[in-house]
Copies of this chain bind each other. A is one copy, B any other.
């Protein structure tokens, strides 16, 4: 099973509405089950540097089928996955990347959000992912 563009755009719209509710300007990326980009938007005045971060968060969440923040806890100095960020042409392991599941719980893609605090980034990503 793989996410469709229609689903990706529905998730993106829900995430964008959450971003606006939080008064933030976000970059929102969606990847499919193959970790390949399927959709992306950058809201006006959002940080330019967050485009790559949003895409990398989405990829990272699908690469390991978990929230990016969970990987970040394991990649700290002295932890088991120290500096895993060097792999895959660059991972982003702080919050804002969340797997996307269909109604049977199967992972069909992931969303990555960047543009505000990591708490806001995660809240917007989750609002999107939970729309399906």
Contact = CB atoms under 8 A, between A and B. Distances in A.
Contact of A75 (B32, B83, B84): B83
Contacts of A9: 41
A91 interface: yes
Interface residues of A, number: 54
Given A36-B42, A49-B59, A49-B62, 18 more contacts: A36-B51, A37-B40, A39-B41, A47-B65, A49-B88, A49-B91, A52-B88, A53-B84, A53-B87, A56-B86, A76-B82, A83-B83, A84-B92, A84-B94, A85-B86, A86-B90, A86-B92, A87-B90
Interface of A: 4-5, 8-9, 32-44, 47-53, 56, 59-60, 62-65, 72, 75-78, 80-95, 117-118
